[in-house]
A and B are shown apart, each in its own frame.
Chain A
Amino acid sequence: MLEFISRMLGRESASSKTVAKERLRLVLVHDRASISPAMLNKLREDLVKVISNYMEIDEAALEFNLCQDDREVALVANIPVVKMKRDYATKGLAE
């Protein structure tokens, strides 16, 4: 409604150049990250290694992706935990 009123008053809320700039900003975050499948795979392996120190995970069912919606780019990982590692506490103490 406010948008409508401001438009009626001749104040364009989002000029097309603002839209262009905002879209570019977001798409470039993604482009510049230039994450190759190889790098994503390496990151996945590293992540699995670190998490495996603390809990047992189901690697086969692991989902790991770079997602982009209109507002941001996110690294989304769905990692099913099979069980917590009992020896973590003792390991942690030993260090």
Chain B
Amino acid sequence: MGEVIVVTSGKGGVGKTTTSANIGTGLASNGHKVVLVDTDIGLRNLDVVLGLENRIVYDLVDVTSGNCRLKQALIKDKRFPNLFLLPAAQTKDKTAVNPEQMKTLAEELKAEFDYAIIDCPAGIEQGFRNAIAGADRAVVVCTPEVSAVRDADRIIGLLEAAELRNPKLIINRLRPDMVKRGDMMDISDILDILAIELIGVVPEDESIVVSTNRGEPAVMDMGSKAGEAYRRITKRIEGEDIPLMNLEVPKGIMDRLKRLIGLR
């Protein structure tokens, strides 16, 4: 029996889809059988992030409304034998699916896969309710900005109201240089406010843009810092207790000089 994990945030643009793609790919490359489900009906994107946009025949709505069987809609990722995508419909809207249908789908997916990663749309309306309906666990993605943290707080409240207890937090796009200057909230500031368990911190990294351009998740790029962060998150999701990534800013010559003459 597998597990359904929803990746959510409230606010848009904080990296839900990128996070979903990387966690899913990471879990698959560790040998688990994984399905990624895009529930952002009308604004599907997980397909392009994964580089599978040219292979869509059927979608989520086709499955939930009985137009096709689940197996027909699943797209197999050729790079990873254990990774599948269930794409969102692009021409319909969020009301094309309801939470009951999502629960049924989740049960079906759990019978077939080790992990089902649900990429939730932004917002707190029906798309959100659909995405969390069949989930066993939730991961909340948040960037170190007031708007994202505020929305994450709201989402955590809604998840708890929906009996999805103990959501885990991913702090995305952290910039250690700005944190050091005191111009960005750090990990402890955000944990202070949200008071939930942290499962990972992903640094801001240009390689994410490059990997998204190519449709290859950064988690497979051994040279990428964000990729390293996602590999650690993947292991933590599997239950391994490994430390967070070291995000210290490398010390420049001026820093060393200042320390030497006692200015710091």
Contacts and interface: CB of A to CB of B under 8 A. Distances in A.
Nearest to B178: A17
Contacts of A16: 182-184
Interface string B168-210: 0000000000010111111001001100000000000000000
A17 B144 CA distance: 9
Q: Is the interface of A mostly helix, strand, loop or mixed?
A: helix
A55 interface: no
B183 A17 contact: yes
A23 to B, nearest CB: 6
B162 interface: no
A28 B182 contact: no
B157 A32 contact: yes
B262 to A, nearest CB: 15
Contacts of A69: none
- Counting chain B residues whose Cβ lies within 8 A of the other chain, the interface size class is 10 to 19
Contacts of A27: 146, 150
Given A15-B181, A15-B183, A17-B185, A31 B193 contact: no
A7 to B, nearest CB: 13
B182 A24 contact: no
A31 B150 contact: yes
Contacts of B189: 17, 20-21
B193 A24 contact: yes
Contacts of A20: 145-146, 185, 189
B184 A17 contact: yes
B149 interface: yes
B146 to A, nearest CB: 5
Contacts of A28: 150, 153, 193
A73 B98 CA distance: 38
A15 B185 CA distance: 10
B159 to A, nearest CB: 14
B181 A24 contact: no
A34 interface: yes
A78 interface: no
Contact of A17 (B150, B157, B182): B182
A12 B180 CA distance: 13
A31 B183 contact: no
B110 interface: no
A24 B186 contact: no
A21 B182 CA distance: 11
Contacts of A17: 179, 182-186, 189
Interface in A22-60: 23-25, 27-28, 31-32, 34
Interface of A: 12, 15-18, 20-21, 23-25, 27-28, 31-32, 34
Interface of B: 145-146, 149-150, 153-154, 157, 179, 181-186, 189, 192-193
Q: Which are the 9 A-B pairs with shortest beta-carbon distances? A: A15-B182, A16-B183, A17-B185, A20-B146, A21-B189, A24-B146, A17-B182, A28-B153, A20-B185
Given A21-B189, A28-B193, 4 more contacts: A15-B182, A16-B184, A21-B193, A24-B193
